[in-house]
Each structure stands twice: as structure tokens, then as C-alpha cells.
Structure 1
């Protein structure tokens, strides 16, 4: 258990930040899933539109520190590669 007031404050703050960051990561996953379902259905226009929506979300996740820069780049690259392969 935390003894100092600062340590108690950090526990409260960390809990708040964990909730916010968790919702950010969940939001990113939702956008990525939207692209993946469009790719799976073979709808190139919907997949392209969803990919345009997911790119700023990934960038925002990097900017907010919930995702590593290379992870976001890799996810976007792989999704884009699948879109190009669709035809």
C-alpha cells in the first residue's frame, strides 16, 4: 500500500489514465476491424474509405503514447498491402 500522499495520488492518476488509454486502444482496434471486414467481404471502395479513417486513428494513438510508432506503421502497411492486392 502507498504511504506518501504523492504515491496515493499516482495510484489514482494511473487508474484514470489506464481507463482513458484502454478506450483509446479499443477505438483503434474497432477501426482496424472495420477495414479487415471490408477487405474480407471484397468491397474495395468500403475498404479504402475505412483505411482512410484508420490512418489518423493510428497516428493519434502514437501521438498519445498508447501505441509504438513502428507498430502503427506496420498495421497500416499491412492493411494497405491487402487493399492493393484486392485489385
Structure 2
């Protein structure tokens, strides 16, 4: 019985390590090759919160797509602030 509990614990630990490694690889920052894709842009909405536009400009971002609406009845709360 004890062997099963230890085996189950070790299997759970190995599975947890695989999930953590997979999450890290999935969620890490992705940046395409700048030589292949020289023009950079960002997509912003209220989900990103307050945007530091000076930092964006310093990061060589050429354009921004600013969310204005979603569907026919939702206006993005941050649209006017981001448009300024």
C-alpha cells in the first residue's frame, strides 16, 4: 500500500513538472526575427490597462491597432485614452 502511495506521489510530481515546463514554453515571450519582419506593431485595448506610450515608442513600434468596439453595443473604455 505504501509503495502505491509513493509511486502515485512521484508520478504526480513528474506530471506537475511536465505541466510547468509546458506552461513556461507556451507563455514565454515570442518575438519574430527583426530581419524577416522589420515593421512592428501592437494591439491594445482595456485589457492591457494603462499603456506607457513612450516605452512603446522606444521599443521601435511603428503602429498600434487600438480596439474601439466589440460587436454592435460595446465601446472599449480605454479607446479615447489610447487614441490620445
Q: Give yes or no for TM over 0.5.
A: no
If the length of structure 2 is used for normalisation, what is the TM-score? 0.41
If the length of structure 1 is used for normalisation, what is the TM-score? 0.40
Higher helix residue share:
1
Higher strand residue share:
2
Q: Which protein is bigger by CA-based radius of gyration? A: 2
